[in-house]
C-alpha cells in the first residue's frame, strides 16, 4: 500500500514459495477489493453494483401490488442487505456516514442521516424503499423512512461494526494469543 496509488518501480521483491509476487493496483480477497492506496471506495462501489443487480432482478420478478410493503422490505433485508453490507466492519470508515460518526456529537442523529444519504449504498436503499411505497424518486427521504419505520443502512452498519469491535476487544482481552494463533 502507498498513498500515491502508483506501483513503485523501486518496490521490494516479495517472494512466496520461491516465486516473485508481482505488485498490483487492486487485489480481491474474500470478496473485498483492496486498492493500492488503502482505500475501500472500489470495494464499496463493487458491492453496491452487485446489490443493484440483485435489486433489478427482484424488481423484474415481483409485482409490488401482490405483496405488502412489509413483505417487500423483508425481501430487501434477506436478499439485498447482506450483499450491500458485506464486510462493512472493514469499509465503514471510508463512507460518509462512517466519517460523520467518527466526528459526531453522539446526540445529533440528523447529521448521521444526512451524511448517510450521500453514500451509494444508502441511495440504493432509498430507491428500493421508494419503489416499495410506489412514490416518485424525488419524494422526501425522511418521509419514506417514516412511512416504513426504517433507518438508513449506515445506522445498522455502525451497530454491526461496534458489535464486531466489542467482540474483537473481548477476544483480545481474554486470550492475548487468540488473534495470533
- 46-72 confidence digits (pLDDT tens): 999 999 999 999 999 988 888 999 999
Alpha helix stretches (DSSP H) within 21-140: 41-61, 69-75, 81-84, 88-91, 96-102, 109-116, 120-133
What's residue 128's pLDDT?
95
Cell reading at 45:
462501489
Q: How confident is residue 10, by pLDDT bands cut at 50, 70 and 90?
A: low
181 pLDDT tier (thresholds 50, 70, 90): very low
Kindly report the average pLDDT of the chain as a whole number. Answer: 83
Mean pLDDT, residues 64-81 taken together: 93
Helix %, strand %, coil % for the chain, to 5?
Answer: 55, 10, 35
pLDDT at 160 over 80: yes
C-alpha cell recorded at residue 28? 480481491
| Distance in angstroms (rounded) separating the CA atoms of residues 110 and 179 | 37
pLDDT value for 2: 66
Q: Which residues contact 148 (CB under 8 A, 6 or more apart)?
A: 69, 73, 129, 132, 133
Mean pLDDT, range 32-56, rounded to an integer: 88
CA angle (8, 9, 12) in 5-degree steps: 80
Taking the complete model, does pTM exceed 0.85, yes or no? no
Backbone angle region of 29, left / alpha / beta, with phi > 0 → left and psi within -120 to 50 → alpha:
beta
Amino acid at each position: 500500500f502507498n498513498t500515491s496509488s502508483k506501483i513503485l518501480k523501486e518496490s521490494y521483491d516479495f517472494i512466496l514459495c520461491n516465486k516473485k509476487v508481482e505488485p498490483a493496483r487492486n487485489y480481491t480477497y474474500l470478496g473485498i477489493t483492496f486498492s493500492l492506496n488503502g482505500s475501500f471506495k472500489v470495494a464499496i462501489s463493487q458491492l453496491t453494483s452487485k446489490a443493484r443487480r440483485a435489486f433489478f432482478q427482484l424488481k423484474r420478478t415481483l409485482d409490488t401490488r401482490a405483496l405488502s410493503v412489509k413483505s417487500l422490505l423483508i425481501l430487501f433485508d434477506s436478499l439485498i442487505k447482506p450483499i450491500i453490507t458485506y464486510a462493512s466492519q472493514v469499509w465503514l470508515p471510508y463512507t460518509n456516514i462512517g466519517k460523520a460518526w467518527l466526528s459526531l456529537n453522539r446526540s445529533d442523529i440528523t447529521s448521521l442521516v444526512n451524511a448517510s444519504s450521500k453514500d451509494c449504498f444508502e441511495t440504493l436503499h432509498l430507491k428500493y424503499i421508494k419503489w416499495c411505497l410506489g412514490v416518485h424518486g424525488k419524494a422526501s427521504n425522511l418521509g419514506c423512512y417514516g412511512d416504513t419505520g426504517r433507518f438508513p443502512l449506515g445506522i445498522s452498519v455502525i451497530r454491526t461494526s461496534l458489535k464486531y469491535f466489542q467482540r474483537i476487544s473481548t477476544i483480545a482481552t481474554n486470550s492475548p494469543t487468540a488473534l495470533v494463533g
